[in-house]
Amino acid sequence: MSNPDQPLLSLRTALILLIGIVTGVGAGALTVAAGEVLATGFLAGGAAFAGSVLFFHAIVD
């Protein structure tokens, strides 16, 4: 059995995902604020989330 005191995610993983979420929400909000439709904002936010998670996974050690 695993130790129940261990966290579900490591601190590094949680930080990278948090930065990705903030980046994705920001990109989506800016896209919608620029006058695009909501679906385009979701697509832009998803792409920004994926790109930032890959980027910060590579540079955060």
Confidence of residue 1 (pLDDT cuts 50, 70, 90): low
Q: Answer whether residue 54 shows pLDDT above 70.
A: yes
Q: What is the pTM of this model?
A: 0.87
Confidence of residue 6 (pLDDT cuts 50, 70, 90): confident
Most distant CA atoms of the chain, gap in Å:
53
The confidence score (pLDDT) of residue 52 equals: 98
What residues does each domain of the chain span? 25-61
Alpha-carbon distance of 29 to 57, in angstroms, equals 23
pLDDT, tens digit, for every residue of 13-46? 999 999 999 999 999 999 999 999 999 999 999 9
